[in-house]
Amino acid sequence: MKLLFILPAFLLIVAATGCRKDKDKEKKPVCRISRITDAITGLSHTVTYNTEGGYQTIKREDGKNTISFEYNGNTIVSRIYDASNKLSRRNTMVLNSKGMIWFHLGELFDGSGNITSNWSYTYEYNEEQVIKSTYNIVGTTPRPTIYTWNSGNNTEVTDDIGRTTYYEYYTDKTDQQGNYWNLRFLYFGIDQRLITRTENLFKGFRGYDQFSYEFDNQGNITTVKEDGQLIYTLQYVCN
C-alpha cells in the first residue's frame, strides 16, 4: 500500500519541479528594439509595437519622418509620412499561411496625394525559405531573382541577368532583430524577417562589406559596424 502513496508523491515532486522550470523559462524578458540611431548622420528613430508584438510606429526623433503599420487579417499596410505629415510611400503586404510575405505592392505619392509610381513583388517559398521573387512594374518585363539556401541560411542571390551575390553568416550566432538587413528594410516600412528567415546572423557579402555586432548581457545586438565603422546603435525595451 505504501507504494501506492509514494509513487504519486514522487510524480507530484517531478511535476512541481517541471512547472518551476517552465515558469523560470517564462520569466526571461522579451526584448524589442525601442530606438535606432544612425551613427553616420546622428539621426535616431523610436520604435513602438502593438499588443501582439508587431511594429506599430517608427518615428524619426526630429519629426521629419514617421512610419505607421496597420494589420488586417493576413495583410499588413505600412505608410511613410514626410516632414509635412503627407503620405510619401505605402506598402501593402499579403502574408501566406506560414506568415511570410508572398505579395508586396509598393506605391509612391506626390505632395498632393497622387500616386507617381508603383511596383510589385511576388515571393515563392519552400516552407519559410524564400526561393524566388519576381519584380513587376507596368510596361516592363518581369524580373525574377533566385535564392539559394544552405544549412538554413540564404547564401546566394542570383538576379535576372545571372549575376550572383554570395552572403556569409556567423555560424555560431543565431539570427535576431537588429541584424543589418532587418534595420535597412525597416527604414522602408518592411519587416525583412517576413521575407527571409535565416538560421544564423548575417555577416556580410563575400569579398566586401563585412558586418560585426556587439551585444548586451542579454544577448541583444547593441551596435552594428560595417568594415569596422560604427553605423547603428540600438536600445531595447524588455518586459
Q: Are 153 and 198 in contact (CB under 8 A)?
A: yes
Name the E strands within 96-128.
101-109, 115-126
Give dist(CA 208, CA 211) in Å, integer: 10
Structural domain tally of the chain? Answer: 1
- pLDDT at res. 113: 94
| Cell matching residue 157 | 542571390
CATH code where residue 162 lies:
2.40.160.190
Asked if 176 and 213 count as a contact pair (C-beta separation under 8 A), the reply is: no
d(C-alpha 170, C-alpha 188), whole Å:
26
**In the predicted model, what is the mean pLDDT of residues 63-72?**
96
Q: Quick check: 46 and 58 in contact, CB under 8 A? A: yes
Domain of residue 185: give its range. Answer: 2-238
Give the model's confidence band at 138: pLDDT under 50 very low, under 70 low, under 90 confident, else very high.
confident
181-234 per-position pLDDT tens digit: 999 999 999 999 999 999 999 999 998 899 999 999 999 999 999 999 999 999
Residue 210 confidence (pLDDT): 96
pLDDT at 20: 52
Which H helix or E strand runs over 49?
Answer: strand 44-49
Instruction: Please check the confidence at residue 23 and state whether its pLDDT lies above 80.
Output: no
In the prediction, which pLDDT does 14 show?
42
For the whole model, what pTM was predicted?
0.85
Q: How much is the pLDDT for 24?
A: 52
CA 80 to chain CA centroid, nearest Å: 17
Cα dihedral sign for 179, 182, 184, 187?
A: negative
Residue 239 confidence (pLDDT):
86
Answer yes or no: are the C-beta atoms of 100 and 193 closer than 8 Å: no
Scanning the chain, the segments in alpha helix (DSSP H) are 2-27, 180-186
